[in-house]
Structures are given as structure tokens and as C-alpha cells.
Amino acid sequence: MAMYRTELKKSPLMRISYAFGLFKPQNDDKGNPTEKYTTTLILPKSDEAGMKLLQGLVAEVVMGQWGEKGVERFKKGLIKSPILDGASKSALDKEGEHKPGMSDDVIFIRPITYRKPKVFNAQVMPASEDEVKSGYWGYAALNALAWHNPSNGDGISFGIDMFQVVKVDEVLGGGGGADPDKFFEAVGGSSDDTGGQTGGGKGASGLFD
């Protein structure tokens, strides 16, 4: 049975973490190489339009795959949501501290793909890994899709097809090594830092209220 998936949509402006996952496939739980690419995209809760867009994709999948009965199951937590709260345990490290870029004021998603996503710079030219650091901001081409697993039940994931980096911000951990700005300074030139954005709203809770 084919599982429901939405059409691709342009995401809101989101901050990327684990940016290396756009360029290198990740290992499975046993350390074996896979063809799965995954990253983390962070959205301030105050970005109400962005929240509405992500929630709308999830709601479309719930209705398209499971119908009205799915709405009730989703409200009860019986269908796993791909929208994660920055105030949840998923945003904390082993010491119970927020992971880099996380806070109670954000939500985040972990989109995946099984083919290498296309990555672009602000001029819509192919971007190298050096141009896309964890902590920078950009737009993704996303869709949402239903899944069923005999062990884990039903859920929804986000897929990612493309990412465009458009704003520089403080480099986060979890994305490809140390920040050179902490050790070096430019000689005979300078570079622009256009900064990030701030924002706030709520996560998957209240999706069908």
C-alpha cells in the first residue's frame, strides 16, 4: 500500500544544525553506512506563518493517510509527529542541557532523504560543505509523508529535496568542526555577516484544535 505524501513546499526560514548531513549519508544504529541523508532544521516558535506551514503539511498527511479517525489518533499521540519541541527531551544532550541552537523558544524537524539533496548558496549556485555551516539560516524544499513500522506503529516524517543557505549566523556545534572565527582573523579583507532571525509560536500540539 502506497503511503501518502505531500507535494514539495518551500519551508520557512530555518536555522540548520548537523549541516554535514546534507553532504554525507549517515550510519545506521549498528554503525553501517546507509544512503540516508538527514539534518536538523530549527524554527523560532514566534514565526507563526512558518509554524502554520509545517503544521499544514502534517495535517494533510494525517487526513490523506488515515482520515478523520487519524485526527483522533494524532491528538492522542498514536501517530508520531515530526514536529519536535525545543522544550522536550529530544532537544537535550546526555547532561540534560539544550543542544546547540535549541531552546524552549523553538521547534525543530529532522528531515530525511535517500538521495543526496541539492544544496545551493544565496545566488542559487551549487554550494560546498564549507558554505553551509551549522548555525546558518536557509530555506528547504520539504514534503511530509506517512509511514508505518510493525514495531514503532504509525508516524509522519519530513523529507528534504533541496536546501538554500541565505544567512550567516553564529556557528553551532554538531556541524563539521570548530568555528575558525574563534581562532583566526581576516588579513587584508573582511566578510559580511548578515545575521539570523528571531521568532516564536507552538509546535505540533494544537494542530487540530
> How many structural domains does the chain have?
1
Distance (Å, whole) CA 92 – CA 200: 19
In a domain, 191, yes or no: no
In a domain, 54, yes or no: yes
Cα angle vertex 78, ends 74, 80, to 5°?
75
Distance (Å, whole) CA 199 – CA 105: 8
The three cell numbers of residue 121 are 548558496
Count CA atoms closer than 13 A to 197's CA, side-chain side. Answer: 19
Domain limits for position 82: 9-24+35-179
In a domain, 186, yes or no: no
CA 5 vs. chain centroid, Å, equals 17
At 30-87, the pLDDT tens digits run 666 678 999 999 999 999 999 999 999 999 999 999 999 999 999 999 999 999 999 9
On the question of pLDDT at 198 being above 60, the answer is no
Across the range 123-145, mean pLDDT stands at: 97
Per-residue pLDDT, 35: 86
In a domain, 98, yes or no: yes
Per-residue pLDDT, 27: 76
Amino acid identity for residue 69 in this structure = K
In a domain, 14, yes or no: yes
CATH code of residue 127 = 2.40.50.140
Per-residue pLDDT, 2: 85
Per-residue pLDDT, 203: 63
String of DSSP letters for 82-94: S-EETTSGGGB-T
In a domain, 205, yes or no: no
Per-residue pLDDT, 65: 98
Distance between the two ends of the chain, CA-based, in angstroms? 30
pTM score of the predicted model = 0.82
Tell me, what DSSP letter sits at residue 45?
Answer: B
Per-residue pLDDT, 30: 67
In a domain, 126, yes or no: yes
In a domain, 140, yes or no: yes
204 pLDDT band (50/70/90 cuts)? low
At 146-175, the pLDDT tens digits run 999 999 999 999 999 999 999 999 999 744
